[in-house]
Amino acid sequence: MQTLRVDLACSTDARGYPIHIGSGILARAELVLQHLPQMRAAIVTNTTVAPLYLDALRQALSHHGVTTVPIILPDGEVYKSWETLNLIFDALLHNRCERHTSVIALGGGVVGDLAGFAAASFLRGVPFIQLPTTLLAQVDSSVGGKTGINHALGKNMIGAFYQPRVVVADSATLDTLPDRELRAGLAEVIKYGLIRDPGFLDWIERNVDGLLARDPDALTEAIRRSCENKAAVVAADERESGVRALLNLGHTFGHAIEHALGYGTWLHGEAVAAGTVLAAELSRRLGMLDQAGVARIRALYARAGLPVAAPDVGVEKYLDLMGLDKKVADGRVRFVLLRRIGEARVHADVPADVLSGMLRECTSHA
């Protein structure tokens, strides 16, 4: 097992926390116990993950005297909603959970976002713990404290920054992850190399086949390097007032794709991959990234089995949906673009004709 730490630069109340990474560590109750202020916890999971890991986790905690309340949600991005969030509140209230009852997220990004938002809101804040079971959650959404739900008008538009007390990323849970979801997680892994760690991108290119084959050493290294990058960015900018926005490379386009097609039609990582290719092409058209860089990005996502052509939902639809992006400031959409591989910048002065032309030429009916 390896342990990293998220140290929040502006924190005066010891809100930094460890990230434990390893194989077979999910049932190591001691990793969680020291972060429980009360020997009672609610475990939020879903109908897919619960049959795989819920009983083992409950037994491990019970062995140390922790009583648990299971809260099993339906599975899927479409359920990242007020209605599902209310199911968590119903269970917490019905079981008379208290201010020191911890909420544990056991699952992927949707479970983590829902459970985290519930923890931030219930009784104005209860302890929160992340046990991510998908690659995307282990390398991205479980770290950094972003929680929330989708709205009919935009993805992740309602939520809170609420940091967990500990993250336990067990790479063995990826053995049961469908191939499509594993590939979707790689989209976020690749992102770190593109925005700030070109050496990591070189490593991914050499090891992408091993990652797809679920080589345990390769997966553990990818999780570790990704979490190191995420932790460094979050430590410098917890609430996304500056550099943290760079983590959204490809997301402005990607969120528009998810929304336009209907949440869950494309997985988040699939939409981010196609969105990143669009961001790379826009970067090239603005005189930053060269053609070789665009081709390199496209080739790596293709090798990872991810879409590199964004769907054609209409230029006006893209522009309308991107206008609802969280990075919009003073009425202008801000794009994360690449000056070169390993260096990203936020731009709010993209000419409308360049953006529209790129969307018109680079989206596909396929």
Same-domain pairing of 212 and 160: no
Same-domain pairing of 140 and 206: no
Same-domain pairing of 22 and 119: yes
Same-domain pairing of 188 and 301: yes
Ranges of the chain with pLDDT below 70: 9-14, 365-366
| pLDDT at residue 159, rounded to an integer | 96
Query: Could you give the number of structural domains in the chain?
Result: 2
Tell me the C-alpha distance between 216 and 354, whole Å.
43
The residues annotated with a catalytic role in the active site are: 124, 146, 188, 230, 240, 244, 248, 251, 255, 268
Same-domain pairing of 214 and 82: no
Same-domain pairing of 22 and 6: yes
Tell me the C-alpha distance between 125 and 15, whole Å.
13
Same-domain pairing of 306 and 346: yes
Tell me the C-alpha distance between 56 and 62, whole Å.
10
CATH number reported for the structural domain that contains residue 338 in this entry: 1.20.1090.10
Domain boundary among 123, 146, 176: 176
Same-domain pairing of 231 and 332: yes
Same-domain pairing of 161 and 259: no
CA distances from residue 204 to 175, 200, 218 in whole angstroms, order as listed: 20, 6, 9
Would you say 228 and 4 are in contact if contact means Cβ atoms under 8 Å apart? yes
Those residues with Cβ within 8 angstroms of residue 293's Cβ, 6 or more apart along the chain or in another chain = 280, 283, 284, 338, 340, 341
Backbone Cα Rg of the chain: 20
Length in residues, the chain? 366
Domain boundary among 146, 176, 206: 176
Same-domain pairing of 164 and 204: no
| pLDDT at residue 325, rounded to an integer | 73
Tell me the C-alpha distance between 250 and 279, whole Å.
6
Tell me the C-alpha distance between 105 and 216, whole Å.
23
Domain enclosing residue 343, as ranges: 179-364
| pLDDT at residue 183, rounded to an integer | 98
CATH number reported for the structural domain that contains residue 44 in this entry: 3.40.50.1970
| pLDDT at residue 12, rounded to an integer | 47
Domain boundary among 176, 196, 224: 176
Same-domain pairing of 252 and 221: yes
| pLDDT at residue 366, rounded to an integer | 45
What is the pairing mode between strands 154-161 and 146-151? antiparallel
Same-domain pairing of 66 and 163: yes
| pLDDT at residue 9, rounded to an integer | 64
- pLDDT tens-place string over residues 62-111: 999 999 999 999 999 999 999 999 999 999 999 999 999 999 999 999 99
| pLDDT at residue 1, rounded to an integer | 93
Beta-bridge mates of residue 363: 310
CA distances from residue 312 to 109, 249, 256, 261, 306 in whole angstroms, order as listed: 27, 20, 11, 10, 17
Terminus-to-terminus CA distance in the chain, angstroms? Answer: 43
